[in-house]
Every structure is written in structure tokens, then in C-alpha cells.
Amino acid sequence: MDYTSAQIYENATGEFLLTSMESNFYLPIKKKGEASSESPIHNEENQTDQAFYNDLLVLVKGYEEALLFGPTQAKTALFDLIKANPECNNLYIQTLEADKMTTEQMKAFVKTHFKIPLKTDKPIAY
């Protein structure tokens, strides 16, 4: 995942199903002669990010395990939101740093990761 999109791989049926979610993130274009103010732009970015993370939170609530990975800190922000949500107390979740990948590389990464059995009694991991 990154700040603009997330791919959700589900393996409930033994076959990986892919769902993609796109953020409404965009960088506003400054018009010539327009006064520069970072605050409104920053506030709009934060609201867009928060809406994106909330949409992803709704998706992961029903899972027992989740792996958040990608090249940016977006995964950490989502992890913090999930961790703060009491409805996700039984969700085992991990974050891993990963380079930008193609869809096939992500699918292989997820398959490899979940071949390793999880042995923990803690629902949230770091």
C-alpha cells in the first residue's frame, strides 16, 4: 500500500482474490500569482488520507490476520488507526517494509508470508 492505493488479497477460499482501493488523493495545482498557503493544502491531504484509511479499516475489520506492507509510511498510519479501534482487538496485524512491486510480485509476497504459521497469543503485532 501507499498513499494513493491499496491492494487487498483475500485467501478465504484457498484462492487469492484481489480487491484494489484507490485514494482520492491529489495535489492541487497552484495558479500563477496565487498566494501560497501550505495549511489548507495540508488539511485537505489529511482529510483525504483519513477517509482512505477509514475505508480500509472497514475492510479489515472482518479478518483474523492482516499484513500491511509497502514503500511508504501509509501502512504505519493505517496500523495506528486499526490499533486504536476496539472492534479490531482480535485482529493479528503486522507491518513490513517492502519496495514498490507489481501485482504478481505482491501476490507472491503475500503467499510466501502466510505460509509461515503464526504462533502468538497477542492480537496486534508491530
126 residues of the chain, pLDDT tens digit each: 887 888 888 876 666 677 788 886 544 445 555 555 555 544 445 555 788 888 888 888 888 888 999 998 989 989 999 999 999 988 999 999 999 999 889 888 888 888 765 555 555 554
Domain residue ranges in the chain: 5-24+37-115
Domain covering 5-24+37-115 in this structure, CATH number:
3.30.420
Label residue 7 left, alpha or beta by phi (over 0 means left) and psi (-120 to 50 means alpha): beta
In contact, 67 and 96? CB cutoff 8 Å: yes
Q: Pairing between strand 65-70 and 92-97?
A: parallel
- For the chain, the first-to-last Cα distance in angstroms comes to 17
In contact, 9 and 18? CB cutoff 8 Å: yes
